Amino acid sequence: MLLEIACDGLGSALAAAEGGADRVELFANGAVGGTTPSAGVIAVARDALAIPLHVLIRPRAGDFLYSRAECDVMRHDIELCVRLGCAGVVIGALDAAGDVDVAICRELVAAAGPLAVTFHRAFDVARDQAAALQTIIGLGCSRVLTSGGRASAPEGTAVIAGLVRQAAQRVTILAGAGIKPADVAPLIAATGVREIHASASAGRTSAMHYRNAAVHGLDPDWRQTDSMRVRQFVAALREAGV
């Protein structure tokens, strides 16, 4: 069984490793579902972590319908991850009909070369998830991150179980979104997943003594992966007997 921690920034990645995570998914701008982190963050995280680092490749917030220029951006970001020695990338693209954009995804998978490729939660907003899964398998992706097309993985338990059966070990189903430590054992038992994705985050209070209350949108407090919460997930996996 494997625990992947979703990490919004370097501090979260370091806390995930400290807490005993097996793998980090690194991104920026978690409030909008995540975008590609900066080259500097990727490089420093790669040097600092002894566990595998997978990097989200997403050029902007919003939908997953990308232009030629945005595809070029993603390809260059993937090439950077290859040069830096990352273990994997996390990609996804849909066409206007809600199906997997095979042309773009094939180009991104090719750019990844030896890196593991996860198809991200664009999968959860695809028109037909069963068909999307077959396409993703054909593209050669390593895994699919999914909540079963629901707001959280626990809510999507029945769908995730069906995806695990359909995948038949041809691709790994990575269950993620809204998972708490108490959800781990029931989710594993009901679905047969072998990998869990969670943020394990907590609020952080800024050490700034001065705050200008007249300026809005620049709250100095933030959320970050908490190593103790990561340990709770590790314990939950252990108690689940996997």
Across 142-171, average pLDDT: 97
Backbone angles phi, psi at 124, to 5 degrees: -70, -15
| Global pTM value | 0.94
What is the tens place of the pLDDT at every residue in 103-139?
A: 999 999 999 999 999 999 999 999 999 999 999 999 9
The total domain count for the chain is 1
Residues forming a β-bridge with 162: none
Residue 30 inside a domain? The answer is yes
Residue 208 inside a domain? The answer is no
> What is the reported pLDDT for 155?
97
CA pseudo-torsion sign 25, 151, 159, 225: positive
Residue 160 inside a domain? The answer is yes
Q: Domain containing 186: what range?
A: 2-202+216-239
pLDDT at 87 over 70: yes
Domain holding 160: CATH number? Answer: 3.20.20.380
Residue 188 inside a domain? The answer is yes
Residue 207 inside a domain? The answer is no
Contact 4, 22 (CB under 8 A): yes
Q: How confident is the model at residue 227 (pLDDT cuts 50, 70, 90)?
A: very high
Quote the Cα angle for 96-97-101, to 5°: 70
Provide the token pair at 110: 């090719």
Residue 45 inside a domain? The answer is yes
Residue 104 inside a domain? The answer is yes
Residue 210 inside a domain? The answer is no
